[in-house]
Chains A and B, each alone.
Chain A
């Protein structure tokens, strides 16, 4: 047993080095295939079984198998994805609610840039992605939304970037914002995948990325679906798709947090900047849309996000499983483990849960 645990520990210590082998895959671009083997889209990175994809035309897929040699991921077709009803989104009246409207923006990958206009795809001191974030900020502010924006640099663009940007995201979330957006650009080399024309203007599409490894996953997925529904209604062709991938992306900090990928490193930044004005309108309508201000009594017809319930179940489930594993490891006996489990909950809840065994010492 001791040997087994020692081996497990040493393996754990070697994990970073084992991961070195994966480093070369950083710029991998995978094709996501439907059950017929047709390419549905491209994804910069390695997809994982369980990842979900909602295409521009709202087809819902789940990744089931990865073929690293062919750089392809096979997906099962889950049918049509039902976006929320946002009939109100096309109203011309912009929200004039007296309710405070505030969002936050930041850039985890500070170096991300656009080759055709910035000269390089990565600029370590200040990437072109900040221009995109600032343009989005300006557009949101024009619509009366308060924007808490951080231009903090989280360089280098490595596995620690999200750890460093976590501090930024948490600080922004403390400002009492309604939603938080991490601004990125994609890394797929084919810019045409992101090219679009909306209202006669050349713009780049925006991919919405949601992390599925946290308690807010369902809530954030619903939020992303709301954004796409509004965009499809008001500016068809603006939102490319939604990818729900393994990872947290610091979205565990807030239940309305989405990563926005504006174009790819091969996109023309001017077209990316053009899309920010449209996206600002979409975000404003999604978060505060349907509000007709004083005339509407502050009521909103924006869709409700019901992801909170599954998130609570996620948190409590994790806690219960963790406590049970620990109790069983400590006792090795189902009955004793259950007693210890109850004791733990009694201690954690100050006696509210877990009951009290007669004669048991405190």
Chain B
């Protein structure tokens, strides 16, 4: 492999790491915590998968993002928000599952690469249900994991030998990409709405139009 190709791999990883750190930083985590979690996702992704029977789990690609989801749910202010995030995850999982079944199978026929569509769906669901960055991350991560579990269970029921692989592509796994994209989408929409509110001469409501601001009543 040439130096250029090695540099390309390095730059791609660094950019993803940087984006991951910035996204995590926007979920009420301290800079240091965001950096630590991004590092755990990347380093954990390089460790061997943990395999139990027909289930294979990667630390960085699934266990760490799942841990972040649990932490975010525990830290959520109200039970209502927890319920919304979980409903959002279930809804995202349905969308991910249906996307897989209904979209054309070949990438060249797909309007959007499903890998990115899942994150966008997670962000959209989270916004509609709770207008929250935290919920967006949870929906993006849990949505993909739940959909993968559903596909594996259906395969097992049909006697098809398959391994349920959760996050085994490490930092490059759809679980991670989906979680990050969901937050980025909700962040972008939050900024747009906030600006729209300002343009209308109204002070953005902290509970609706400014749901994504650090220190706001919603996260």
Residues of B within 8 A of A308 (CB): 2-8
Q: How many angstroms from the CA of A315 to the CA of B11 in the assembled complex? A: 8
- Across the interface, A329 reaches (CB within 8 A) one of B6, B118, B125, B195, namely B195
Q: How many angstroms from the CA of A26 to the CA of B101 in the assembled complex? A: 12
Whether A167 contacts B167 by the Cβ 8 Å rule is yes
Interface range, A side:
35 or more
Of A200-208, A212-220, A266-274, which binds chain B? Answer: A212-220
Q: A51-B108, A124-B158, A256-B1 are in contact. Are A163 and B100 (CB under 8 A)?
A: yes
Residues of B within 8 A of A1 (CB): 192-193, 196, 199
Q: List the count of A-B residue pairs having beta carbons below 8 Å apart.
A: 242
Interface residue B148 (Cβ < 8 Å from any Cβ of A): yes
Interface residue B76 (Cβ < 8 Å from any Cβ of A): no
Whether A332 contacts B99 by the Cβ 8 Å rule is no
Minimum C-beta distance from A327 to chain B (A):
9
Residues of A within 8 A of B108 (CB): 45-48, 51, 245-247
Interface residue B120 (Cβ < 8 Å from any Cβ of A): yes
- Across the interface, A19 reaches (CB within 8 A) one of B99, B118, B188, namely B99
Residues of A within 8 A of B187 (CB): 326
Q: What residue in chain A is nearest B192 (Cβ atoms)?
A: A329
Whether A16 contacts B155 by the Cβ 8 Å rule is no
Q: How many angstroms from the CA of A160 to the CA of B106 in the assembled complex? A: 10
Residues B92-130 near A (CB distance < 8 A)? 95-115, 117-118, 120-121, 124-125, 127-128
Whether B173 contacts A305 by the Cβ 8 Å rule is no
Whether B111 contacts A160 by the Cβ 8 Å rule is no
Whether A247 contacts B107 by the Cβ 8 Å rule is yes
Q: What residue in chain A is nearest B106 (Cβ atoms)?
A: A45
Q: A15-B117, A159-B100, A308-B4 are in contact. Are A348 and B165 (CB under 8 A)?
A: no
Interface residue B159 (Cβ < 8 Å from any Cβ of A): yes
Residues of B within 8 A of A247 (CB): 106-108, 110, 113
- Across the interface, A17 reaches (CB within 8 A) one of B98, B118, B124, B173, namely B98
Interface residue A306 (Cβ < 8 Å from any Cβ of B): yes
Whether B18 contacts A348 by the Cβ 8 Å rule is yes
- Across the interface, A219 reaches (CB within 8 A) one of B8, B97, B98, namely B8
Q: A124-B158, A311-B8 are in contact. Are A246 and B124 (CB under 8 A)?
A: no
Q: How many angstroms from the CA of A247 to the CA of B107 in the assembled complex? A: 5
Residues of B within 8 A of A26 (CB): 104-106, 109
Whether B151 contacts A312 by the Cβ 8 Å rule is no
Interface residue B52 (Cβ < 8 Å from any Cβ of A): no
Q: How many angstroms from the CA of A221 to the CA of B41 in the assembled complex? A: 30
Minimum C-beta distance from B188 to chain A (A):
6
Whether B115 contacts A23 by the Cβ 8 Å rule is no
Interface residue A155 (Cβ < 8 Å from any Cβ of B): yes
Q: How many angstroms from the CA of A167 to the CA of B172 in the assembled complex? A: 9
Q: How many angstroms from the CA of A305 to the CA of B189 in the assembled complex? A: 40
- Across the interface, B19 reaches (CB within 8 A) one of A152, A178, A319, namely A319
Q: How many angstroms from the CA of A48 to the CA of B109 in the assembled complex? A: 8
- Across the interface, B102 reaches (CB within 8 A) one of A23, A213, A344, A347, namely A23
Interface residue A128 (Cβ < 8 Å from any Cβ of B): no
Q: What residue in chain A is nearest B144 (Cβ atoms)?
A: A163
Residues of A within 8 A of B125 (CB): 13
Interface residue A286 (Cβ < 8 Å from any Cβ of B): no
- Across the interface, A45 reaches (CB within 8 A) one of B1, B109, B195, namely B109
Whether A19 contacts B103 by the Cβ 8 Å rule is yes
Interface residue B21 (Cβ < 8 Å from any Cβ of A): yes
Whether B174 contacts A22 by the Cβ 8 Å rule is no
Residues of B within 8 A of A109 (CB): 105
Interface residue A330 (Cβ < 8 Å from any Cβ of B): yes
Residues of A within 8 A of B174 (CB): 163, 166
- Across the interface, B112 reaches (CB within 8 A) one of A15, A23, A152, namely A15
Q: How many angstroms from the CA of A17 to the CA of B96 in the assembled complex? A: 11
Residues of A within 8 A of B169 (CB): 166-167, 169-171, 253
Q: What residue in chain A is nearest B97 (Cβ atoms)?
A: A160
Q: What residue in chain B is nearest A319 (Cβ atoms)?
A: B15
Q: Mark B167-179, 1 if CB is under 8 A from A, else 0.
A: 1111011100000
Whether B8 contacts A315 by the Cβ 8 Å rule is yes
Q: A124-B160, A344-B22 are in contact. Are A163 and B114 (CB under 8 A)?
A: yes
Interface residue A5 (Cβ < 8 Å from any Cβ of B): yes
Minimum C-beta distance from B197 to chain A (A):
9
Chain A: residues with CB nearer than 8 A to chain B?
Answer: 1-2, 5, 9, 12-13, 15-17, 19-20, 22-23, 25-26, 44-48, 51, 109, 124-125, 152-164, 166-171, 174, 178, 211, 213, 215-216, 219, 245-249, 252-256, 304-309, 311-312, 315-316, 319, 322, 325-326, 329-332, 344, 347-349
A-B contact list, 10 entries, CB within 8 Å: A22-B104, A46-B104, A153-B163, A161-B105, A164-B165, A166-B169, A167-B168, A170-B169, A249-B107, A325-B188
Can you name 9 extra interface pairs (CB under 8 A) apart from A26-B106, A164-B165? A1-B199, A5-B193, A153-B155, A160-B101, A167-B167, A174-B46, A255-B5, A325-B188, A344-B22
